[in-house]
Amino acid sequence: MAVALRQPTLASAPSPSFCDGRKFAEVEQALLWTVLQQDLHCTSRDLLAKAAQHQIWPRVTLRQINRWRAKWQLSRGKGRPPRTAADGSMSSGNAVVCVTPRLSFVGVHLFACWLDQQDAFEPVVAGLKEAISEHQRTHPGEDFALLHHRDATLRRRFQALVLAPLFGIERLSGFDTQEHPLETLIGGSYQYTTLSQFLGQLERVEAGASLLPILRPAQGGKLVYVDGHMMAYWSRQPMHKGKITMRGRIMAGSQAVISHDETGQAVFVAYYPPDLHLSQAIVAYCEQVAAATGGDVFVIDRAVNSQALAQAFDELGLGLLCMLDDNEHHGLESFEATEVETLDDGTRLYQGPWKPVRKGDGRHFVIVKPRDGKTLVYWGTPKVESGLEARQWPEVYRARTELQENAFKRMIEHGALDINAGRKTMVGPDRHQQRAEAKVRVSLEAAQSRVEKKRRALEAKREQVAESAAKGHGKRLEQRQRAAAELEQELSEAEQHEARWHEQERGFKAPKTRADRDFRKQTIMTIRTLFLENLLRAFMSVLLAVLPEKVSLEQVLKLLFERSGTRIERGQEVMYWVNATGLSRSNRRLLGKIVEGLSAIGLVERGKTVHVCLKDLPP
């Protein structure tokens, strides 16, 4: 459709009231009125040709158009058309200002309207300006485009990055190949080159650290859920590798460690190489999270199940709730268990220390013994015991499945969480080689110690044999000679074992190098994804508060966000018509409820009230 249909005509007359007819719906009447206001002397046949070209009124005939023109007193007179347009006024509050007949992703427009009401991107602009100011202070000689961007430019470009996954655009190159409604959303369109340069310059000013505060809630809780998400990365360059769980392979990649609060809002993220186990970085990471959010009780899966980590958390004044592995206990018989309560389903809760007590292990245990199934054992540091009742431990721990594991799946589906951003790498020593060599050296030291021990034992036994021979012992001499022969055999075997480790040590090659990813750009895009997820959760909480029945985020995304529609702007209101063509009866009813809820939450667009309606548009 021509862009002119979305621009107000200053010389147009106040529009009449429109209502649905049998063949000519309200939207189609508004479109006809808008086209006529652009050219009052256009022939009806030309109007019909334009409609056929853009598939606006496929069911309307020339006679019907003439009837409506006569009703509105806009019939074209005989003779040549005059050179000047008819005078009119736009003062009426019911006048049509502009019409967008084909609006894709109409639900995203409504979501963006709600975001504007909440000033959702103002913290983003503030964070980016802070990063830019810091970069200008530390690098006064540098000059590039981002340093001179206005607030509106920063807001529009970051908004394009945030909303891109809702259009099905996972990689920025999709802006060059896929249809998207940025023109109607933010008043302008962007291509891959512009947004990739913007992202690269954000990386240059280290914007990731300045953007992290946009994830934090105004008032945080004490519980923090932590989990790692491994993402695969393909490269011909030798890189450090780790186990990519989603692909079941050991390969190059990255490890995002993400934190959520007890309400499910993402609050922190940091990236680590894939070969670094979570337990090696978790203490320093949780210190950062506690300092940034105020949360001091962490719920983490069995990747950090360790007495040493429990002690480290306790020394820092942090709480840690985790689970024992199944092979670490034998049910209730491993604990001095005291029954806490019995649940309605017959599950029994116990608490107590190890039996026998293990020295230096200050963990507290809660044992869950269901009527059928295996026994589960949860453990926590003293801070967890003082802050949570024993009956709360299983419920708090199980909540991490929905708050984190299912959230990761949703963000992969509609938030582009699994998409790699940035190709920069940093070359360093090969940690795989270093670990392998360190393992050989430790084994060699153990083998040398064993040989030395066997040698001393053999020398002592030979002295005993000599003593027995000097004293003329009979049976004892035979026993000592037999023991000395056994020690000689053991020494020989130990020396052979030591020789094999020496051979491996001599086989060490020259130090190699491997690359690690530069995570700055990836961190910014992951913050983008987490920010989008937080915004969607906040939007859903507002929507669910006015809906009579519960709907899921996936239903709203499929039924509302991905559908097309029409937008009509009048003097005092904006009407959005959501296309319901092709929906089943149950989905149409559900979409109707969602549409009613959107009208009830009080959306406002540029000071005008927003109304949302359901409409079966022609194909």
pLDDT (tens digit per residue) in 220-240: 789 999 999 999 999 999 999
> Which of 32-46, 85-99, 441-455 shows the lowest mean pLDDT across its residues?
85-99
Based on the fold, state whether residues 379 and 240 are members of the same structural domain.
Answer: yes
Domains held by the chain: number: 5
pLDDT in tens, 166-191: 999 999 999 999 989 999 999 889 99
User: Residue 210: is its pLDDT beyond 90?
Assistant: yes
Task: Please compute the mean of the pLDDT values over residues 185-205 and round it to a whole number.
Answer: 94
Judge if 224 and 209 occupy the same domain: no
Banded pLDDT at 83 (limits 50, 70, 90): low
Res 476 pLDDT > 60:
yes
Q: What average pLDDT does the segment 505-512 reach?
A: 90
Cα–Cα distance measured from residue 53 to residue 55, given in angstroms and rounded to the nearest whole number: 6
pLDDT band, very low/low/confident/very high, at 24 (cuts 50, 70, 90): low
Confidence of residue 85 (pLDDT cuts 50, 70, 90): very low
Domain boundary among 35, 58, 90: 90
The domain boundary, picked from 371, 389, 414, lies at: 414
Least confident of 27-41, 238-252, 294-308: 27-41
Asked whether the beta carbons of 376 and 329 are under 8 A apart, the reply is no
Residue 541 to residue 553: CA distance in whole angstroms:
10
Q: Are 158 and 228 in contact (CB under 8 A)?
A: no
Min mean pLDDT across 1-10, 209-218, 226-235, 411-420 is at 1-10
Residue 360 pLDDT > 80: yes
Is 524 a member of any domain?
no
Q: Which two tokens stand for residue 468?
A: 């027995």
pLDDT digits (tens, 9 = 90+) for 256-286: 999 999 999 999 999 999 999 999 999 999 9
CA dist 461 and 117 (Å) reads: 89
- For residues 69 and 132, membership in a common domain is answered with no
Q: Please say if the pLDDT value at position 87 is more than 60.
A: no
Alpha carbon 95 to its chain centroid, in Å, reads 43
Question: pLDDT of 39-62, one tens digit each?
Answer: 777 787 777 776 665 555 556 777
26 occurs within a structural domain:
yes
Same domain, 356 and 301: yes
> Would the pLDDT of 121 be above 90?
yes
pLDDT for 9 equals: 37
Based on the fold, state whether residues 578 and 500 are members of the same structural domain: no
Mean pLDDT of the chain: 88
What string of DSSP letters covers 251-306?
Answer: EEEEEEEEEEETTS-EEEEEEE-TTS-HHHHHHHHHHHHHHHH---EEEE-GGG--
Strands 241-244 and 604-605: unpaired
Give me the pLDDT at residue 84, please: 46
Lowest-confidence range among 63-72, 453-462, 467-476? 63-72
Residues 246 and 382 grouped into a single domain = yes
Same domain, 202 and 152: yes
Q: Does some domain include residue 539? A: no
**Tally of CA atoms within 13 A in the half-sphere of 360 that contains its CB:** 6
In a domain, 439, yes or no: yes
Can you give the pLDDT at residue 493? Answer: 94
Considering the domain architecture, whether residues 308 and 386 belong to the same structural domain is answered as yes
- DSSP H helical ranges for 472-572: 475-506, 520-544, 553-556
Domain's final residue, options 60, 90, 120: 90
pLDDT of residue 343: 86
The identity of residue 519, as a single letter, is F
105 within a domain of the structure (yes/no)? no
Is 18 found in the same domain as 120?
no
The vertex-212 CA angle with 211 and 217, nearest 5°, equals 115
Same-domain status, 372 and 398:
yes
Verify that 281 and 397 share a domain, yes or no: yes
pLDDT at 509: 87
569 contacts 96 by C-beta, under 8 angstroms: yes
Whether the predicted pLDDT of 19 surpasses 70: no
Residue 88 pLDDT level (bands cut at 50, 70, 90) = very low
196 Cβ contact partners less than 8 Å away, ≥ 6 residues apart? 172
465-469 average pLDDT score? 91
Is residue 104 a part of any domain in this protein? Answer: no
pLDDT surpasses 60 at 1: no
| pLDDT exceeds cutoff 50 at 7 | no
Chain-centre distance of CA 287, in angstroms?
A: 22
Q: Structure tokens of 368? A: 């869950």
Whether residue 526 has pLDDT greater than 50: yes
Confidence of residue 90 (pLDDT cuts 50, 70, 90): very low
- Residue 50's pLDDT is 67
Residue 492 lies in a domain: yes
- pLDDT value at residue 18: 65
Cα separation, 561 vs 559, in Å, equals 6
Residue range of the domain that includes 67: 1-90
Q: Do 304 and 357 share a domain, yes or no?
A: yes
* CATH number of the domain bearing residue 243: 3.90.350.10
Q: Taken in order 172, 176, 178, 183, is the CA torsion positive or negative? A: positive
CA distance 63 to 403: 60
Q: Given this model, what pLDDT does residue 314 score?
A: 94
300 in a structural domain = yes
Give residue 16's pLDDT: 65
Residue-wise pLDDT for 479-503, tens only, equals: 999 999 999 999 999 999 999 999 9
Supply 218's token pair: 């105004």
Residue 92 has pLDDT above 50, yes or no: no
